[in-house]
Structure 1
Amino acid sequence: MSRTLQLAEQLISRPSVTPEDAGCLDLIAARLAPLGFVCERLDSGPDSFRVQNLYAKRSATGSEQRKTLVFAGHTDVVPTGPLDQWSSPPFTPTHRGGRLYGRGASDMKTSIAAFVVAVEEFLAATPDPLIDLAFLLTSDEEGPSIDGTKVVVEQFKARGERLDYCIVGEPTAVERTGDMIKNGRRGTMSGKLTVLGIQGHIAYPQLARNPIHQAVPALTELAATAWDQGNAFFPPTSWQMSNIHGGTGASNVIPGSVVIDFNFRFCTESTAEGLQARVKSILDSHGLEYTLDWTIGGQPFLTTPGNLVHAVQQAIADETGLQTELSTTGGTSDGRFIAQICDQVIEMGPPNASIHKIDENIVLADIAPLTNIYRRTLENLHAQALAACAAPGAA
């Protein structure tokens, strides 16, 4: 059994459903401390929803000029769903048909195990690298994401700490590890629109004002609006309704209000403020009486090809022979928070076909390449730093 597989199984066996960590971070810290990492706990949240956060960093003496690479991820997993539908217990790592089964196998305990082993191997071969290394791990990514990475980033801002490179271990591959990495994500912003009318008897519409009838033309315009055209890295911004609630349940009553929930997934061509202003303009043009509450779940971020993307692409090519695809599709990740203090953020992990499903699994043959890609990326960044030091005019 490889060291990555062994550690992945130890992590999977811990039932760390959000916000529980179940000792995963202690296990990881125990592996990192002997390597020279200073481990800092930045736990947050009320006792009823206490989130565990670990920041571990290995810095060299006089490392002010060094770049810092952080491996980021989460130890929490989504609930299992009906246990009787699993082919084997979700927190008992099980091998079948060349796959490792268990909750978190793909999302993302195997990635965390591969992070640790890749760093161990890299430091064994390069005990004094020209880059500093760090880990940022949380037990609140699958849940509200309020007291996890978001809180840690706010603390880093307050103390003036920035990062240079970040690899988030989210499962990004489609068929084989390395075939796709995420170099950005769209922003997410939700709105709750309440259109106000006047309740009344449906037989006397002149004595009432139907908010559903009033809202429909505005909703039609919102649905038909082209918010932007996207760009080379992002598809156009999309607006989608998710829920409509109206009525008293009786067929003879005009309701006094209707509530519409909607969401923007927006690219870097639009801003949250700009989208809010355009929605308000459309609603006002229809003469609606309404209230509108906004929730910004995350801003879009984009890492254009540079040192980190090139290092990861080369690592994938050398390990697998694949020419990886850069993508910004999919949902959100903690990368949206880290990008506030880190200029280069990418996500790279195993295939995601089984994440959040019954019988979540990872192909065993994908585990060694995942570890090797992470290690090769470290080697490539170290080589870049070495070349920079040797360049004419370097300090």
Structure 2
Amino acid sequence: MKDAVAETDAVALTADLIRCPSVTPEEGGALVLLEARLSAAGFACTRVDRGGIANLYARWGDKGHARSFGFNGHTDVVPIGAREDWQFDPFGAEQAEGWMYGRGAVDMKSGVACFAAAAIDFVTQTPPDGAVILAITGDEEGDARDGTVALLDWMATEGEAMDLCLVGEPTCPTEMGEMMKIGRRGSMTFYFEAEGVQGHSAYPHRAKNPVPALARLVDRLAALELDQGTAHFDPSTLAVTTFDTGNPANNVIPATCRATVNIRFNDAHSSASLTEMIRAEAAAVAAETGIKITDRLSVSGESFITEPGRLSDMVARAVEAETGRVPEMSTSGGTSDARFVQHHCPVVEFGLVGQSMHQVDERVALDQIPQLKAIYGRILADYFA
């Protein structure tokens, strides 16, 4: 029988983490706090800092064990915005009317606190035949080049491995337990520049206007039907997000014009196949108009899917046991660090209701924190059963 006194208080740990001002790329004391708590529970902790980013790897159990379950999450948070817009201190973890307020309350210090607390209690009370691993980064909200990627690079070098991984991002739209993420869409951004010849608007024949050419290109791109969706994904989307000349004069034809296009794509495509398609459209418009069009490309991640099976089944059973809901398996939303973990092992995401993430007065329902901890504890017990 579990000793109730020995239970790790996930609500208190969430509050302690919120009080750490860990706005990307600042560590803010969050990983120092977690390392102390985990080390005291018998976890072997290693700081895997890279490029000015703080990361923490914690393992309970022998390295290279035949069975190892991992959690991944981040303690860095986005900026608070205007302080005067907050009704409570954004790093105060103040409680009111059943809520805890603070930057990172939902995204995702509560998730980290819950899986850390669940892991501590599990290995302390029922030491498993295997390893429990926590890979926690301070670079999810930033460029994400030296966060989870650095942890995975270090793990490969050191012979560390997770068999399965659960990312604790907030996944539920409105009700606790309604959704898990079994994959994510890919994301890529094109930054186009059309180059013409500047001139007087009264003498357009002496100039070469790049604006109509780039407008033609983005109109064609916006009209593309990339696909009609796949088995686990909605249709891919393409959005024109900027169109700029930076031209303050109404009587000058500009020499350059720029536009930005963001694509969220499913597993019918890769970034390479979409790049070929988009650049072919740009080349066609350039040939038709005589305007030089170049681009700069940024790929945030490829689409991926963890096929429903052992991991998603364990998550579903635990969620249903604690909430009475069977979570929908979804691939909606933006990107997360699961896009990196999926190259290492099967990965699923499950966490809290995320309605207030990145908002002023970000807050977490106090009753959901112990509920999430219990879900993570059930998953560990199921895996090592």
What TM bracket, shorter-length normalisation? over 0.9
Post-superposition offset of 1:175: 2.4
- Residues of 1 paired with 2:86 and 2:293: CA distance? 47
For 1:252, the equivalent position in structure 2 comes to 251
Post-superposition offset of 1:161: 4.5
Task: Please list the CA deviations of residues 186-226 of structure 1 after superposition, one character each: whole Å capped at 9, or x if unmatched.
Answer: 11111111111121111111111111112222222111111
- Residues of 2 paired with 1:216 and 1:24: CA distance? 47
- Residues of 1 paired with 2:159 and 2:295: CA distance? 35
Residue 358 of structure 1: which of 357, 360, 363 is its match? 360
Give the direction of change, closer, same or farther, for the CA distance of 1:284–1:256 in structure 2 (3 Å limit): same
- Residues of 2 paired with 1:27 and 1:272: CA distance? 39
Is the 8 Å Cα contact of residues 101 and 362 (structure 1) preserved in structure 2?
Answer: yes
- Residues of 2 paired with 1:82 and 1:123: CA distance? 42
5+ long unaligned stretches in structure 2: 1-6
Letter in 2 for 1:220: D
For 1:52, the equivalent position in structure 2 comes to 54
Post-superposition offset of 1:328: 1.0
- Residues of 2 paired with 1:215 and 1:30: CA distance? 55
Post-superposition offset of 1:229: 2.3
Alignment of 1:1-395 (within 5 A): 3-45=9-51, 50-60=52-62, 63-66=64-67, 68-127=68-127, 129-158=128-157, 161-246=160-245, 248-286=247-285, 287=287, 288-342=291-345, 344-383=346-385
Identity %: 39
Post-superposition offset of 1:11: 0.8
For 1:387, the equivalent position in structure 2 comes to none
Letter in 2 for 1:110: S
Is the 8 Å Cα contact of residues 196 and 256 (structure 1) preserved in structure 2?
Answer: yes
SS in structure 1 opposite 2:191? strand
RMSD across aligned positions (CA): 1.7
Is the 8 Å Cα contact of residues 66 and 130 (structure 2) preserved in structure 1?
Answer: no
Letter in 2 for 1:65: A
5+ long unaligned stretches in structure 1: 384-395
Is the 8 Å Cα contact of residues 185 and 329 (structure 1) preserved in structure 2?
Answer: yes
- Residues of 2 paired with 1:192 and 1:158: CA distance? 35
- Residues of 2 paired with 1:159 and 1:226: CA distance? 45
SS in structure 2 opposite 1:163? coil
For 1:389, the equivalent position in structure 2 comes to none
Letter in 2 for 1:329: S
Is the 8 Å Cα contact of residues 247 and 253 (structure 1) preserved in structure 2?
Answer: no
Letter in 2 for 1:323: V
Give the direction of change, closer, same or farther, for the CA distance of 1:160–1:260 in structure 2 (3 Å limit): farther
SS in structure 2 opposite 1:294? strand
- Residues of 1 paired with 2:276 and 2:216: CA distance? 18
Letter in 2 for 1:136: A
Task: Please list the CA deviations of residues 10-47 of structure 1 after superposition, one character each: whole Å capped at 9, or x if unmatched.
Answer: 111111111112221121112222333211111111xx
SS in structure 2 opposite 1:65? coil
Is the 8 Å Cα contact of residues 236 and 266 (structure 1) preserved in structure 2?
Answer: yes
- Residues of 2 paired with 1:24 and 1:259: CA distance? 40
- Residues of 1 paired with 2:247 and 2:116: CA distance? 56
Letter in 2 for 1:363: A
- Residues of 1 paired with 2:84 and 2:283: CA distance? 52
Letter in 2 for 1:202: S
SS in structure 1 opposite 2:367? helix
- Residues of 2 paired with 1:251 and 1:158: CA distance? 59
Post-superposition offset of 1:122: 1.6
Post-superposition offset of 1:325: 1.0
Is the 8 Å Cα contact of residues 247 and 254 (structure 1) preserved in structure 2?
Answer: no
Is the 8 Å Cα contact of residues 18 and 143 (structure 1) preserved in structure 2?
Answer: yes
SS in structure 2 opposite 1:193? strand
SS in structure 2 opposite 1:136? strand
Q: State the aligned residue count.
A: 375
Is the 8 Å Cα contact of residues 307 and 381 (structure 1) preserved in structure 2?
Answer: no
Is the 8 Å Cα contact of residues 72 and 137 (structure 1) preserved in structure 2?
Answer: yes
- Residues of 2 paired with 1:55 and 1:317: CA distance? 30
Task: Please list the CA deviations of residues 277-329 of structure 1 after superposition, one character each: whole Å capped at 9, or x if unmatched.
Answer: 01111112221421111111111121111111110100011111111111111
Letter in 2 for 1:301: F
Letter in 1 for 2:12: Q
- Residues of 2 paired with 1:364 and 1:151: CA distance? 33
- Residues of 2 paired with 1:188 and 1:90: CA distance? 30
- Residues of 2 paired with 1:214 and 1:78: CA distance? 37
Is the 8 Å Cα contact of residues 177 and 319 (structure 2) preserved in structure 1?
Answer: yes
SS in structure 1 opposite 2:375? helix
Is the 8 Å Cα contact of residues 8 and 120 (structure 2) preserved in structure 1?
Answer: no
